[in-house]
A and B are shown apart, each in its own frame.
Chain A
Amino acid sequence: MKYVDEYRDGKLARALAKKIALAARPDKSYRFMEFCGGHTHAIARYGLEDLLPENIRLIHGPGCPVCVLPIGRMDDAIKLAQRPGITLCTYADLMRVPGSDGMSLIKAKAAGADVRMVYSTLDALRIAQEEPQRQVVFFAIGFETTTPPTAMALIDAQKLGLKNFFAFCNHVLTPAAIQALVGSPEAAASVPIDGFVGPAHVSTVIGTKPYHAFAENYRKAVVIAGFEPLDVMQAILMLVRQINEGRHEVENEYIRAVTVDGNRKAQDFVARVFEVRDTFEWRGLGQVPFSALQLREEFAAFDAEKVFDIHTVAAKDNPACECGEILRGVKKPVDCKLFGTLCTPETPMGSCMVSSEGSCAAHWTYGRFRDSAPKQRQAS
């Protein structure tokens, strides 16, 4: 696959690992958070942590929209799907996420609810057109990458005059979340982070600009990186150099797809349809001000929250589940009592295990054998 295989070359990865080992000062420790689930997945799948020296620690961040969706919103979606006449269209990622009482969309579907997995908002729109007798609700979730396709679908629905298409909006904003991670004194004290591996595809849409204020105000290094293993390794090298040189800048490793301004056209569509919410609950982070989107008044007729009168009731996580702490980087998956015992990808208890991009699922799939094996260093 062009533009993919070249960035997975093992020899180059080992060469980069040597460079990183040479650049990392033995008297320093480096703590970098990769914000995105896509990076977490690449790091686990390609065993990148094994290629890094001991004094570089990667902290897995909350950038997986499935993982940070609070249970209350999952409950809302399940209840919506159970209403007669409603067809709930959702990305596959959400099908198995447990709501309250172990209920999930897939269980609701098994019990007769009309839940349909879609690849794209285009499919949800088509269903609404083909089945005018159904009230089709799209379960909209995701960061800036996934928001423009929802905006397009709503603009198209308006153009087409569809009366049976709605969005249940849970779109969230990356810069607000990163700020929440380092902005409060408690957060800064609990998880010291020296720099961030910045989002890949979120940045294709928003560009590199939105990170500048953050890097300056909080004096954190940011390197935007692609999702392939060599992209991540190169970004880590760039972060190490920034720390060594006392810099805290926004650098862009993913220049083949990310520009300073991002995708202006997509941004305009999003701005036409959505506005920022005053506050939104994130699993693991709690209420984060100005961190999510809602439909503008002009699109109220398509807003499932208004049309179906949804009032989210906050629901509690399983008390033993450490997803919240894991999402903030305070704990590792193995620190959770449920990890690998009650909670596995087959029977997930928490969101970090449900989504394949969650830290727990990544560690279960690729990393758990390393815990018992003596560490092998390939970089030397």
Chain B
Amino acid sequence: MCLAIPVQVTELLEGDMARVTLDGVTKIVSLALVEDVHPGDYVILHVGYALNKLDPEEAAKTLALLADAGAAA
């Protein structure tokens, strides 16, 4: 039930809402639980609410760590 997916914010709308996109599917969701979100940002979406912003730098770090595992193998 705690499944949540990373979606990209494409447009900020009135009343703390935003349009988001995931592989061409768009949806209007609430940004009421997050702060400082801008178009282009990725957020974790759960039951119609963005729960958090994804940190692109930290995501890159994890990917680098995983790639390390691949290189070492």
A residues in contact (CB < 8 Å) with B: 1-4, 6-7, 9, 11-12, 14-16, 18-19, 36-38, 63-66, 91, 93, 119-123, 141-143, 145-146, 148-149, 152, 199-202, 204-205, 227, 230-231, 234, 237, 253, 255-257, 263, 265-266, 269, 355, 357
B26 to chain A, nearest CB (A): 14
Residues of A within 8 A of B30 (CB): 120, 122, 149, 152
Are B6 and A141 within 8 A (Cβ)? no
A93 to B1, CA, bound (A): 8
Instruction: Tell me the nearest residue of chain B to A144, going by C-beta.
Output: B2
Instruction: Tell me the nearest residue of chain B to A67, going by C-beta.
Output: B1
Residues of B within 8 A of A9 (CB): 66, 70
Residues of A within 8 A of B55 (CB): 255-257
Main secondary structure of the interface of B (DSSP, over half): mixed
A299 to B10, CA, bound (A): 35
Instruction: Tell me the nearest residue of chain B to A266, going by C-beta.
Output: B33
Residues of B within 8 A of A255 (CB): 55, 58, 61-62
A266 to B3, CA, bound (A): 17
A357 to chain B, nearest CB (A): 7
Residues of A within 8 A of B32 (CB): 152
Q: Could you list 10 further interchain pairs (A-B, Cβ under 8 angstroms) beyond the known A152-B32, A257-B55?
A: A19-B72, A38-B3, A119-B48, A199-B2, A200-B2, A200-B4, A227-B3, A237-B69, A256-B62, A266-B51
Residues of B within 8 A of A234 (CB): 62, 65-66, 69
A263 to B65, CA, bound (A): 25
Are A37 and B62 within 8 A (Cβ)? no
Are B52 and A204 within 8 A (Cβ)? yes
Contact with A along B26-41 (1 / 0, CB 8 A): 0000101111000000
Instruction: Tell me the nearest residue of chain B to A3, going by C-beta.
Output: B6
Residues of A within 8 A of B34 (CB): 263, 265
Residues of B within 8 A of A149 (CB): 30, 33, 46-49
Contact with A along B43-73 (1 / 0, CB 8 A): 0101111011011101101110111011011
Instruction: Tell me the nearest residue of chain A to B17, going by C-beta.
Output: A122
Are B1 and A66 within 8 A (Cβ)? yes
Residues of A within 8 A of B73 (CB): 14-15, 18-19
8 smallest CB-CB distances across A and B, nearest first, come from A120-B48, A15-B73, A256-B59, A3-B6, A255-B58, A145-B2, A15-B70, A201-B2
Are A201 and B70 within 8 A (Cβ)? no
A90 to B2, CA, bound (A): 15
B55 to chain A, nearest CB (A): 5
Contact of B59 among A3, A36, A120, A199 (CB under 8 A): A3
A126 to B51, CA, bound (A): 21
